[in-house]
């Protein structure tokens, strides 16, 4: 009887964890525009981040940068992985070497506030 109880409890935990990861991955899908960096409105450049999932906890991302002064912009991207236990999005860029983790500080339907683990910069994105 104890074994059945432990198996049932394990299934509940696994099912719950997976659904939270899946929900977060679904919530971040689409294009996000950077509006603030460290609480200051961004005016001298633009950055868009697009997430495209390919399973319940991972997918591809694309960053597009533009500059207000006419300097040519650029794009970069790679793969991401949702780490639910840390409430973060882990990025691996196309070069396979560059990585970062975006710790989710707050989120809503139309905004995403994250903090870079690499340099502690906070970014506010809006749809």
Other C-beta atoms closer than 10 Å to the C-beta of 59 total 19
- Residue 47's Cβ-side half-sphere holds a number of Cα atoms within 13 Å equal to 16
- pLDDT higher than threshold 60 for residue 14: no
Q: Which of 30 and 24 is assigned the larger pLDDT?
A: 30
Q: What is the CATH number of domain 2-126?
A: 2.40.128.280
pLDDT for 65? 95
pLDDT in tens, 69-93: 989 999 999 999 998 877 899 999 9
41 φψ region: left (φ > 0), alpha (ψ -120 to 50), beta (else): beta
Other C-beta atoms closer than 10 Å to the C-beta of 58 total 16
């Amino acid at each position: 009887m104890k074994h059945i109880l432990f198996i049932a409890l394990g299934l509940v935990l696994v099912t719950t964890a997976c659904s939270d990861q899946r929900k977060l991955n679904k919530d971040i899908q689409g294009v996000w525009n950077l509006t603030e960096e460290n609480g200051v409105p961004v005016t001298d450049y633009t950055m868009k981040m697009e997430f495209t999932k390919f399973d319940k906890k991972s997918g591809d991302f694309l960053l597009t940068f533009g500059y207000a002064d006419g300097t040519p912009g650029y794009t970069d991207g790679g793969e991401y992985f949702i780490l639910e236990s840390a409430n973060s999005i882990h990025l691996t860029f196309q070069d396979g070497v560059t990585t970062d983790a975006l710790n989710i500080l707050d989120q809503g339907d139309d905004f995403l506030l994250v903090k870079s683990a690499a340099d502690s910069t906070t970014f506010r994105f809006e749809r």
